[in-house]
Every structure is written in structure tokens, then in C-alpha cells.
């Protein structure tokens, strides 16, 4: 399944099309239009939702970190798992994106940035 945007079959690998071809489905805007060198990992909108029981028997959803791949994961052991961009955008794909995705122009700095790899 395609992970990146495919606007047309005429999309070439040239410089003008590069940001589009680097954009993952599920990103709020075009990759690389955000602050230089920043990735989604450092953005306040990049996280997963976890459910937590609350008093009275209800369940609330709280933002959480995606966790890390285990050492048995062949390609990226100890690396951050994918998470969603939770910036509310109409018709945005509901897809997990890697922490390495280049930041878009809707980037907002997260207060607590997770390391890309877990030590050990």
C-alpha cells in the first residue's frame, strides 16, 4: 500500500516535486514546509491515543507516545513506532506516519520530544 502522496502519474523525482513525493499520507500539509530540520517526532500533534479508565466506569482517550520497536524488529530495532498526525484537517488520511517525516508548515513544537531510538 502506498505511504506517500501520489498526485498524478506525471509526478517526477525532480526538485519541484520532491516535497510532494516525500509527504506521507496522513500528514497535515506538505512535508518539508515546516521549520528546517524538524520532523513530525518533534511536533505536538504527533502521537497515538490510549484509553484510560476513569472513575465511574467511563473511558477517556489520552495522547500517548507510540512506544518503540523491540530488538527483534529487523529493520529498525529500538526505533520509535509510527503515530498519527492529530492536527485536525478536513479529509486528511487516517494513517500512521513515521517519526522521520519532514515537518509541515502546521508544525508546533512539542514540549516533551521523544528520542528517535531507545538506548540499550
Chain contacts with ligand SF4 (rule: CB under 6 A): 27-29, 34, 40, 43, 45-46, 85, 87, 101, 103-104, 106-107
**What does the DSSP assignment read for 93-113?**
---EE-TTSBP-TT--B-SSP
- Shortest reach from residue 26's CB to ligand SF4, in Å: 8
User: Least distance to ligand SF4 from the beta carbon of 63, Å?
Assistant: 12
Pairing of strands 46-53, 83-85: antiparallel
- Of the chain, the end-to-end C-alpha distance in Å amounts to 32
CB proximity list for 58: less than 8 A, separation 6 or greater: none
Q: Which is nearer to ligand SF4, 67 or 77 (CB)?
A: 67
Residue number with CB closer to ligand SF4 (11 or 89)? 89
Closer Cβ to ligand SF4, 70 or 115, answer by number: 115
Amino acid at each position: 500500500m502506498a505511504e506517500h502522496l501520489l498526485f498524478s502519474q506525471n509526478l517526477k523525482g525532480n526538485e519541484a516535486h520532491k516535497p510532494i513525493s516525500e509527504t506521507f499520507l496522513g500528514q497535515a500539509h506538505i512535508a518539508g514546509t515546516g521549520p528546517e530540520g524538524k520532523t513530525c517526532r518533534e511536533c505536538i500533534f504527533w502521537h497515538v491515543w490510549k484509553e484510560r479508565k476513569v472513575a465511574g466506569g467511563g473511558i477517556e482517550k489520552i495522547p500517548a507516545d507510540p512506544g518503540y520497536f523491540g530488538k527483534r524488529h529487523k529493520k529498525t530495532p529500538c526505533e520509535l513506532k509510527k503515530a498519527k498526525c492529530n492536527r485536525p484537517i478536513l479529509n486528511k488520511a487516517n494513517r500512521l506516519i513515521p517519526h522521520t517525516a519532514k515537518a509541515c508548515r502546521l508544525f508546533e513544537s512539542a514540549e516533551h520530544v521523544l528520542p528517535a531510538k531507545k538506548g540499550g
